[in-house]
Amino acid sequence: MLGVTENRHNLRPDRNVQDHPPNNELWVTLIAAVQESQDTHSFERLFNHFAPRIKSFLMRSGADATLAEECAQDVMATVWQKSHLFDPARASVSTWIFTIARNKRIDAIRKQRQPQPEDLYWMEDHEPDHEAVMSLQQESDILAQALTELPEKQRVLVEQAYFGDMSHSEIAKKTGLPLGTIKSRIRLALDRLRHSVDVKTVK
């Protein structure tokens, strides 16, 4: 819990996570409803939460509003179509949707294919272990919370790497910071996140 008190002054009041605490277990239930019964109502709740985030993510990555709208619709359509590939023991819903949005970004903005690792077809042969699912989803909540508590400088760098079409050296050019500084700040941010997840999981 050290990180929380230490960094409270860095919390930004406009962060949406403050208004709506992350609730990964809810998203897992909704995806399951989409998968099992093509439930439009559950999908709409997922849509209302994730679609604006995907669009903002893509706009921060350099897409204009029209392209970002088009891509956000495509990403959510993929979520509907591929819900059977979501494995709640391996990823949170936001992580899974992030990978779809990232691949869409590479495809639509960089006009490049992104080869994907082989899918692990878990649905076909076994039910996921309930405890593994619970702990993974809770860890993901903690990670999202921890991200909002990072010192601003570190947070911005981690964001840029992920919004990026930007390598570390391109971030260096843009921010005027030496490459070594950027790499060590990103590493520091990751260590801090790992630490904060560890501490909170142990508690």
Partner 1 sequence: MTKHIKHHLTDDLISGYSCGSLTEAVSLAVATHVSMCDDCRAALESYDALGGGILETVDIDTTQDVSFAATMAKIKALPDAPRTKPVATNVPAPLVDYIGTRLENVNWRPIGMGVKQAILPTSKGAIARLLYIPSGTAVPDHGHNGLELTLVLQGAFRDESDEFKAGDIEVANEDMNHTPVAFGDQDCICLAVTEAPLRFSRMLHRVVQPFLKI
CA 27 distance to own-chain centroid: 13
Three-class SS state of 177: coil
- How many residues sit close enough to partner 1 to count as binding (CB under 8 A)? 74
Q: Which is nearer to partner 1, 30 or 146 (CB)?
A: 146
Closest distance to partner 1 from the beta carbon of 28 (Å) = 13
Instruction: Check residue 22 for interaction with partner 1 (CB under 8 A).
Output: yes
Q: Kindly state the smallest distance separating residue 63's Cβ from partner 1, in Å.
A: 11
Give, in degrees to the nearest 5, the angle at Cα 45 between 41 and 50.
140
The structure tokens 């996140």 sit at 193
For residues 188 and 154, is the Cβ–Cβ distance under 8 A? yes
Helix segments in 22-92, DSSP class H: 24-37, 40-60, 65-81
Within 125-184, the residues that bind partner 1 by CB under 8 A are 139-140, 143-144, 146-148, 158-159, 161-167
Return the residue of 115, 125, 131, 203 that touches partner 1, per CB under 8 A: 115
Distance in Å, CB of 122 to partner 1, minimum: 13
> Cα–Cα distance between 51 and 80 in angstroms, integer?
12
Nearest to 76 by CA among 108, 43, 109: 43
Question: Which one of 1-9, 70-78, 127-135, 173-181 is the stretch in contact with partner 1 (CB under 8 A)?
Answer: 70-78
Among 10, 95, 138, 175, binds partner 1 (CB under 8 A): 95
Nearer to partner 1, 166 or 177 (CB): 166
